[in-house]
Amino acid sequence: MSKYAIGIDIGGTGIKGGLVDLKSGELVGERIRIETPTGGEPDAIANAVVKVLTQLPQTDPQTPVGICFPAVVKHGVTMSAANVSKAWIGLDAEKLFTQKLNRKVHIVNDADAAGVAEMKFGAGKKKRGLVIMTTLGTGIGTALFIKGILVPNAELGHLEIGGVDYETKAAYSAKENEDLTMVEWAQRLQIYYSNLERLFTPDLFIVGGGISKHHEKFLPLLRLNTEIVPATKRNNAGILGAAVLAHKTKTDE
């Protein structure tokens, strides 16, 4: 019998959820998505997560629930907030969701969750060295793995290069906002990944985010010593990774 867990992915515009078969890495039934409440306040988002949970296939109340969130998460407390209310900063989010859902939950950074999904089911599967997952979107999310083990909250998107927080130059939002061509954007990505390569000497880069489905337009333009590949789980990565980490946390208790 396969094990199951629930994954919830909270973003600035949408909240997605699904029941995950932890053996296959596939969703059981449909993925549920609702809009993130305007303003992104804690209570409103928690209530929205309750709505998502009620629409998922019925499971045992003991089924682990993992929630990934756009913030640095330390011991269940959200230490930052991206594209949601600043009221999340310093909030015991794990306690909030546990009370609202009336079941134990595990909170994790969204990039970490996406990275876990890729390492277990996707582009990083069976890769045992140093792997850096990057998500190119509004900012640059990162997840760092050593021998398959997650080093949480590696905020490498905020690497300072040339005196600036370089996600403001190399995130996909910068390409869109400045109307850069793929070649111009790739030149900035070259600077970013070259610096990561110099600092960490990784064995693999995995590139996620919505733009990764068009990887053939920009990844071949990069010249690196490190292998760089597109993510494979894309829109479901956060759900899958959050579910995996929730199950692992429960079994480790």
DSSP 180-200: --HHHHHHHHHHHHHHHHHHH
Give the CATH number for residue 98. Answer: 3.30.420.40
- Rg (alpha carbons) of the chain, rounded to whole number: 18
196 in the same domain as 143: yes
Is a pLDDT exceeding 80 seen at residue 59?
no
11 in the same domain as 57: yes
pLDDT, position 2: 57
Q: 25: closest CA among 110, 123, 147, 129?
A: 123
Token couple for 138? 């509004």
Q: How far is CA 249 from the centre of its chain?
A: 17
pLDDT, position 200: 97
| Residue 201 structural domain | 126-232
pLDDT, position 253: 67
146 in the same domain as 47: no
104 in the same domain as 18: yes
Is a pLDDT exceeding 80 seen at residue 185?
yes
- Does residue 117 fall inside a structural domain? no
Backbone angles phi, psi at 23, to 5 degrees: -85, -45
Domain count, the chain: 2
The per-residue pLDDT for range 202-245, each reduced to its tens digit, is 999 999 988 999 999 999 999 999 999 999 998 899 999 999 99
Is a pLDDT exceeding 80 seen at residue 151?
yes
Indicate the average pLDDT of the chain. Answer: 94
Mean pLDDT, range 60-64, rounded to an integer: 89
pLDDT, position 186: 98
pLDDT, position 1: 40
Confidence of residue 71 (pLDDT cuts 50, 70, 90): very high
pLDDT, position 16: 96
Is a pLDDT exceeding 80 seen at residue 31?
yes
158 in the same domain as 91: no
Greater pLDDT, 251 or 150:
150
